[in-house]
Chain A
Amino acid sequence: MLTVLLILIPLITGLITFGLKGPGAKVFSLLSSLATLAVAAVAWTQFQSSPDSLQFTADWIPQLNSQFKVGLDGLSLMLVLLTTISFPLIFITVFSRSYDRAGSFYGLMLLSQAGLLGVFLAYDALLFYFFWELALIPVYFLCSMWGGERAVPVTFKFFVYTFAGSLLMLVGIIYIYFQTEGSFSWQSFTSLSLSNGEQSWLFWLFFVAFAIKMPVFPFHTWQPDTYEQSPTPVTMVLSGVMVKMGLFGVMRWLVPVLPQGVYMWQEAAIVLSVIGIIYASCIAIMQSDLKKLIAYSSIAHIGLMSAAIFANNEQSLAGVQVQMFNHGINIIGLWIIVEVIEQRLKVKNMGELGGIATYAPRLAILLVIVSLANIALPLTNGFIGEFLMFSGLFQYNPWFAAIAGIAVILAAVYMLRMLQKVLFGEANALTATTTDLKSGEMLAMACIVAVIFVLGVYPKPLLDLAAGIGLQDAVAAVITR
């Protein structure tokens, strides 16, 4: 029942929020997201004592034998925690802002949260697809209505990309459904053994849908523009949580359901991911637009995670899961600072910035910390995940690990250069007016920095979650076959 609450709270409060005005909507949605966080925390404690109590099944569409089947395992719990932590942080960050038509804004935000949680919790393929699309629609409206001047065409491109991808996945789901004698449940999907030929082409139907969402090269073209044009809270949702839908999809549905398909095509997928890492890192180095720089750095990071998933061994998978959580937290931290700079100074071009450290020391220190975490320096949360992913990738093929390893150096180049250009050097007339972080922003950043250091020094809770996952069975299945 707890699991259902995780979806119901944001869904119902989201619908209520549409009717609220300005400050009311803001406070109400913050409270709602905190309530969801509390439920997630309770679910976490229950998960340790009695994980079975978190499963819930009810009839949904008897004609199709599709059920409303949700449950929690380590993988979904990690992403549920990420989602439920992110939303209050985002709401706190923008608490001092007032949005036009605030009721609709916060309502849509909560609806997208409901969709995201549904994706992470669903154990029924049709339900998964249902939530997968449901998470997209509110984001489409959020970006188009509150985004920048080019937001409408850019967001539409994003929408059509993901919509086309997910429809292909739907065809795949339907095909497998008929092979299972009419069941959508994850268990029957995974216990099915399809022929090699079927797995081979089904792999691509699923992979394209997930690759667009992540995004993996060459399906990434929607991403930088969308991140840049979206209102920052939405960009945080997109880059912090929503891209994890793609990674999660691969881990929950692609790898266990089509192990031979993955085995056949893993090299191709890794090559695409590694190309994406290098390509995005190089573009990031050349970027002068702050938001686009972070967007491309995100493509590089996601590329590494995708490569690690398809390397498909115990270490790389554990690394991906830990990194999914940490990347989400870190990138939200980065966006918060960018949002502050953009709000205060109205510029995104790094050439026009500089010397902010003198005028806003707290902002500078926090930006340095999240940037270093983003480069995965030891003692920050980024380190452990990236280390595991690289060692997993190395086991699969040392060359891939070596090439992807260049990206770590490149990441240091663009992140440090960004710090240098934004924080240090001569201040100009504009940057001299920078005011430091306000209380709401400080609070959100303090939480993020706390997470960065605590998990950097003591990553065991995350690793425990990552270890207690049924995925090992799937990996074993691949190896034995």
Chain B
Amino acid sequence: MNALITTAVFGIVLMFVGLFVKNKQQIKYFAIAGTILAFIANWYDGTLAGGSTVLLHGMVEVSRFSVLFNGVAIASTFLYFLLCGSAFERVGEDVADYFALVFFILSGIMLSGSFSNMLMLFLAIEIISIPQYILAGADKKNLKSNEASLKYFLTGSFTTGILLMGIALLYGATGTFNIREMGLGAGDLSPLALCGIILLAFALAFKVSAAPFHFWTPDVYDGSPTVFTAFMATVVKAASFIAFMRLFYVSFTGGSLTHHWQLIIALITAATLLIGNFTAVFQQSVKRMLAYSSIAQAGFMLFAIVSDNEMATQGMILYAAAYSVATIGVFAVLLKMKDYTFDGYNGLARKEPLLALVTTIFLLSLAGIPLTAGFFAKYFVLSAAVQAGGLLWLVILGVLCAAISAYYYFRVIMAMYFKTGDAETLPITGGFKAALLLAAAIVITLGVFPGLLLQFL
């Protein structure tokens, strides 16, 4: 709760700070301080929670899981500000507002792991979404940015309708909004409730950009200012997954209930893996490749949803951390490049060896190579699916897609190391390099000792 309040209040404070402080560097430091403050508040929540605490008349439930994910999200945002914060001022004038919007998103994220009422789920999803519509269109004079914003807004509000309809149907079937009191497990499932579950699954699949609800993703991610894509594709996506997971793991689980939706989610997973990976192969721009790669990675995170067991919970946390840190890192380097195509990376290893090295570590992590966090993330979610039983076909499809993903990630590595060229970058500061090294160190540490993170669960 404290983390939620801190982030929301800090967002408002930041808007006022924008009025008085004109130095953009200072605003950035202020925002970074905000994430540290939120982290401490979240830590405090964790010490209070112990097991789990229900707050606000059963609206919110703070548990170890939600505290841990909030910690991961805040830490990722901290890294994001550190690495990409300076790029905010390249988008437009209202830097403080952008930071404030990110904080509002963050306060929605704080709810995504801890809601215990479907109304709070709706609020969490909307609080996350609305600032994103604004951020997507932040580059006001750029047509592509406008298009991204409009597209995102239209499809997003459409999905909100579906989400609400799902909630309404479930309320009709069970008479409660509380996710713990629906009691769907006992007896036969009414058609009303089943429709509700399916509608919710579709709406949430849209939010996590799973196929066939992914069509907005490439255009929105490509059209939005790159610096905001970095946030939308990482922390926000992970938060949507956490909400997805929490709802389905608490309300729609147990007995035969899982079987009602498992096959549908499994098919969505398969489609997401195939579409994400195969389309990413054909991209010419690294930014667009990362957009499709985020769809492909969503396919792997869906393994955690479909498995419906304890191991999947661990896998989701690990995946959220591994994927967010690595992708933020890749985007941070992308933001420093003058040319966003693969060819723009040619010869980066000779010019900026450190940038090339850390990018390689991040990409290896995304491909799931051992010694990086991405390996254990994939390991846990795939294991969870094997443990669930009956999903072995999906697991084999998953690993084959992981092999395909190596193709497009390694294209960047090949360009950096094995091709000659003059990769032009913006000026790179020592602080930026240090932050990149910090992110790479996190990726490798979690890649050798994933227990360091999971011990908090």
Q: How far is the CA of A144 from the CA of B416 in the complex (A)?
A: 12
CB pair A159 B400 closer than 8 Å: no
A152-B396 CB under 8 A given contacts A159-B406, A171-B382: no
Q: Which residues of B sit under 8 angstroms from A145, Cβ to Cβ?
A: 417-418
B37 at the interface (CB under 8 A from A): no
Q: How far is the CA of A174 from the CA of B402 in the complex (A)?
A: 16
Q: Which residue of A lies closest to B405 (CB)?
A: A163
CB pair B403 A170 closer than 8 Å: no
CB pair A167 B392 closer than 8 Å: no
A134 at the interface (CB under 8 A from B): yes
Q: Annotate B394-425 by CB proximity to A: 1 below 8 A, 0 otherwise.
A: 01100110110011001000100110000000
Q: Which residues of A sit under 8 angstroms from B387, Cβ to Cβ?
A: 178
Q: Which residues of B sit under 8 angstroms from A177, Cβ to Cβ?
A: 383
Of B403, B410, B449, B450, which one neighbours A167 at CB under 8 angstroms?
B403
Q: Which residues of A sit under 8 angstroms from B407, Cβ to Cβ?
A: 156, 160
Q: Which residues of B sit under 8 angstroms from A424, Cβ to Cβ?
A: none
Q: Which residues of A sit under 8 angstroms from B263, Cβ to Cβ?
A: none
Describe B's contact surface by its main secondary structure.
helix
CB pair A130 B371 closer than 8 Å: yes
Q: Which residues of B sit under 8 angstroms from A170, Cβ to Cβ?
A: 379, 382, 399
Q: How far is the CA of A159 from the CA of B405 in the complex (A)?
A: 12
A137 at the interface (CB under 8 A from B): yes
Of B399, B450, B451, which one neighbours A168 at CB under 8 angstroms?
B399
A171-B399 CB under 8 A given contacts A61-B451, A144-B418, A152-B414: yes
B314 at the interface (CB under 8 A from A): yes
Q: Which residue of A lies closest to B386 (CB)?
A: A174
Contacts of A147-185 to chain B: CB distance below 8 A: 151-152, 156, 159-160, 163-164, 167-168, 170-171, 174-175, 177-178
A134-B370 CB under 8 A given contacts A159-B406, A175-B386, A177-B383: yes
Q: How far is the CA of A253 from the CA of B82 in the complex (A)?
A: 46
Q: Which residues of B sit under 8 angstroms from A61, Cβ to Cβ?
A: 376, 449-451
Contacts of A10-67 to chain B: CB distance below 8 A: 60-63
Q: How far is the CA of A75 from the CA of B30 in the complex (A)?
A: 60
CB pair A63 B454 closer than 8 Å: yes
Closest Cβ of chain A to B448, distance in Å, is 9
Q: Which residues of A sit under 8 angstroms from B371, Cβ to Cβ?
A: 130, 133-134, 137
Closest Cβ of chain B to A133, distance in Å, is 4
Q: Which residues of A sit under 8 angstroms from B414, Cβ to Cβ?
A: 144, 152, 156
Q: Which residue of A lies closest to B383 (CB)?
A: A174
Question: How many pairs of residues, A versus B, come closer than 8 Å at their CB atoms?
Answer: 74
CB pair A144 B454 closer than 8 Å: no
B369 at the interface (CB under 8 A from A): yes
Of B383, B403, B450, which one neighbours A160 at CB under 8 angstroms?
B403
Q: How far is the CA of A435 from the CA of B410 in the complex (A)?
A: 41
CB pair A178 B417 closer than 8 Å: no
Q: Annotate B429-457 by CB proximity to A: 1 below 8 A, 0 otherwise.
A: 00000000000000000000111001100
Q: How far is the CA of A126 from the CA of B371 in the complex (A)?
A: 12
Q: How far is the CA of A174 from the CA of B376 in the complex (A)?
A: 12
Q: How far is the CA of A170 from the CA of B387 in the complex (A)?
A: 14
A141 at the interface (CB under 8 A from B): yes
CB pair A160 B451 closer than 8 Å: no
B364 at the interface (CB under 8 A from A): yes
Q: Which residue of A lies closest to B453 (CB)?
A: A63
Q: How far is the CA of A134 from the CA of B444 in the complex (A)?
A: 13
Q: How far is the CA of A137 from the CA of B369 in the complex (A)?
A: 9
Q: How far is the CA of A177 from the CA of B387 in the complex (A)?
A: 9
Q: Annotate B8-44 by CB proximity to A: 1 below 8 A, 0 otherwise.
A: 0000000000000000000000000000000000000
Q: Which residues of A sit under 8 angstroms from B403, Cβ to Cβ?
A: 160, 163-164, 167
Q: Which residues of B sit under 8 angstroms from A178, Cβ to Cβ?
A: 383, 386-387
Interface-central residue, B387, B403, B454, by most chain A CB under 10 Å: B403
Interface-central residue, A126, A134, A137, A174, by most chain B CB under 10 Å: A174
Q: Which residues of A sit under 8 angstroms from B418, Cβ to Cβ?
A: 144-145, 151-152
CB pair A133 B382 closer than 8 Å: no
CB pair B396 A129 closer than 8 Å: no
Q: Which residues of B sit under 8 angstroms from A63, Cβ to Cβ?
A: 314, 450-451, 454-455
Of A126, A130, A168, which one neighbours B396 at CB under 8 angstroms?
A168
Q: Which residue of A lies closest to B407 (CB)?
A: A160
Closest Cβ of chain B to A114, distance in Å, is 11
Interface-central residue, B370, B403, B417, by most chain A CB under 10 Å: B370
A134-B370, A174-B379 given; 20 more Cβ-contact pairs under 8 Å: A61-B451, A62-B451, A63-B451, A63-B454, A126-B379, A137-B369, A137-B371, A152-B418, A159-B406, A159-B410, A160-B403, A160-B407, A164-B403, A167-B402, A168-B396, A170-B379, A170-B399, A174-B383, A178-B383, A178-B386
A-B contact pairs, 8 of them (CB 8 A): A63-B455, A133-B369, A133-B375, A137-B371, A156-B407, A156-B410, A164-B403, A167-B402
Q: Which 3 pairs from chain A and chain B are nearest by CB?
A: A167-B399, A164-B403, A133-B370
